[in-house]
Structure 1
């Protein structure tokens, strides 16, 4: 009688800690990201000002990300996580103390460092502490920490703003970010244990273009750019969009959107395992395209919620698959650089998307802006079809996933 094959263990102490740390850090971030656009408009800014804030965050994240990825591969993931959570707390507390747009733009630098640190280190740690046979499942569940924060962060932000004002809102974000700091410190993770024998030579290389970026992640980074360009519109302009069209309860958009992302995240890994990357990624992009078309025409809450639901389904599967591809192709000792490459593309996408979307919205309104987003998603579909190999990612097709 053959022994029963034991499925690799997914849940462990470090995995649980990184899940909750990510949730609290993103929770604080999305409170800030939701409140800042409304706050800047309340003190004299407009949509283009909001775009500039998001651009400062993204450019800062892009500037620091290569070095952070290098430090992660050379020294410590945990050190970068602590840096990110501390910068998030500094930004949140400081936002509650200022009311001048130039100061808000300056504080966006701390937000950018936090975003860069968490998005680079978080997925890398998850990949390191997850058994390879369950990597697709581990990354999918990890993405739900982000999805839940998207569900609750904007909703909490809008509720606290309406009831208590902006100062209490930002201090709520500060309190949540303190929990993230505690969890980051608790993480018991030694980087050297994550790498296979023989990687030490690569880890001894100096800081240069070859070590800070990973060429295996270039293609998925390209797909990430187009999605991030459009995601900037969803993540920060929806409250202003609802205000411009007189839609009450616009905060409902976020739990509907996040609920869709949570549902699809539970099945993305298994769907790709069964049907392959392209047959899941392309339908996800198509759903995003129709979501933006729905939002372009929406004049009532039900159509807006439909757009949020479609975008949630499409973006969750899309971003997860991009991460799967990048992590599968990268050598274990280059995961930090691979993540830095993927999220550098996201930084560029969000930065350019924020500026252009803000300018287009200020000049032509949200209908034109959402159509531009739909066109960008269409371009992403074309780029994927032209560049992606038909070979399925080996991690996703591991029989034990």
Structure 2
């Protein structure tokens, strides 16, 4: 197919979806990364600090399947505006509050907001990306989510070290107001296939809950994303702790500068390679590079090694994230893309939630350096699982040919 014949990707709705996704993920993760630092500033317990993100992620995880069931029946344009107002309210009531239980409640509310809006945006993207450009389209969509999520910790570190957590809250309130304006220009409507696909299979949408929230064809890439996000939770939550352990202090934010830059660079070609059938090569390569990056991070005692680890891990995450999302969505029927996206995002959230607590506990028992070193072996588990899955598929094909 020539370039002229390729279906158009960069429509106005796609551009707006990418922009809103970037700002939304940046806003959410600025608060996510700021909360552990805020808690540790007056309560020196990494496990409790990590539980703030866990409360957020668990509420998002529970919200997503429930919302996916009712999503075809809702006016999504009104839903996203209502949820943004709720998010604005939670930020306002967090100012100057040190009560752990109250802060946990706000984290739960923010998790609900994140679960709903991220599901809507991912479903919107999957509806407007042409099938033949799925890898490329999701590489830019994932770039928006990853840039937002990965730029946030560096900004949070700088703002909190220079000023306070309250200034960070004020900054996020301004961003939510901007989102309220931008989302008014996005049309969010489910396609007929998304609304009626289950009825076409002879089922009532209300009686086929399992079919609405689960598709086994999307499960494997979601499991891989779960493992990847356990590793991502380590750098997301505890890079500041490593900075204090190694006396890098606020300079530890340079890890995220390198990370973000190389995430952006790798996204340019990772989607292109996926659309041309190089998925396994992308996953194997990015997992091995991620293993090296986390090993270097665990051994970092000078800034050069810290930045180098950010480069390696940025290349790894930048290639693997969009590859796995396109993998999940491309394996299901068109009307199940909302389900695949929900499963993929749930895998991300579960990984972040589990990693925050488990790796926080490991850092408590050992050190941040040891924790990052142990985390690196998760990347080798991804390689092992993909090898097993590929061999099982090959064996099944041979068996069918023999029959």
**TM-score, normalization by structure 2:** 0.89
Instruction: Name the structure 2 match of 1:18.
Output: 17
Inter-CA distance 281–80: structure 2 relative to 1 (3 Å threshold): farther
Instruction: Name the structure 2 match of 1:8.
Output: 7
- Match for residue 380 of structure 1 among 371, 379, 382: 382
- SS of structure 2 residue aligned to 1:123: helix
Compute the displacement of 1:63 (Å): 0.8
Instruction: Name the structure 2 match of 1:226.
Output: 227
Alignment of 1:346-365 (within 5 A): 346-365=348-367
Distance 1:185 1:389 in 2: 48
Q: Does 1:246 align with 2:247?
A: yes
Instruction: Name the structure 2 match of 1:397.
Output: none
Distance 1:71 1:351 in 2: 25
Compute the displacement of 1:344 (Å): 1.9
Compute the displacement of 1:200 (Å): 4.5
Compute the displacement of 1:164 (Å): 2.8
Instruction: Name the structure 2 match of 1:206.
Output: 206
Instruction: Name the structure 2 match of 1:313.
Output: 315
- Match for residue 263 of structure 1 among 262, 265, 273: 265
Q: Is the 8 A contact 1:69 1:339 kept in 2?
A: no
Compute the displacement of 1:291 (Å): 1.1
Distance 1:151 1:299 in 2: 22
Inter-CA distance 258–389: structure 2 relative to 1 (3 Å threshold): farther
Give deviations 1:303-341, integer Å, cap 9, x for gaps. 111111111111121111111111101212111111111
Compute the displacement of 1:389 (Å): 7.4
Instruction: Name the structure 2 match of 1:94.
Output: 93
Compute the displacement of 1:289 (Å): 0.9
Give deviations 1:254-311, integer Å, cap 9, x for gaps. 1210111111111001223445211111110111111111111111221111111111
Alignment of 1:2-401 (within 5 A): 5-79=4-78, 81-82=80-81, 84-192=83-191, 195=194, 200-201=199-200, 204-206=204-206, 208-248=209-249, 249-274=251-276, 276-388=278-390
Give deviations 1:64-96, integer Å, cap 9, x for gaps. 110122233454554554455344333333332
Compute the displacement of 1:182 (Å): 2.4
Instruction: Name the structure 2 match of 1:396.
Output: none
Give deviations 1:111-157, integer Å, cap 9, x for gaps. 21122123322221111112222222211111221233245423332
Distance 1:163 1:25 in 2: 24
Q: Is the 8 A contact 1:25 1:88 kept in 2?
A: no
Kindly report the root-mean-square deviation, in angstroms, between the aligned alpha carbons of the 2 structures.
2.5
Unpaired runs of 5+ in structure 2?
394-403
Give deviations 1:229-271, integer Å, cap 9, x for gaps. 1111111211222122210411111121011111111100122
Compute the displacement of 1:27 (Å): 1.4
Inter-CA distance 388–322: structure 2 relative to 1 (3 Å threshold): farther
Q: Greater shift after overlay, 369-378 or 146-155?
A: 146-155
Distance 1:140 1:118 in 2: 19
Unpaired runs of 5+ in structure 1?
392-401
**TM-score, normalization by structure 1:** 0.90
Inter-CA distance 211–198: structure 2 relative to 1 (3 Å threshold): closer
Give deviations 1:187-212, integer Å, cap 9, x for gaps. 12321356598664358421622322
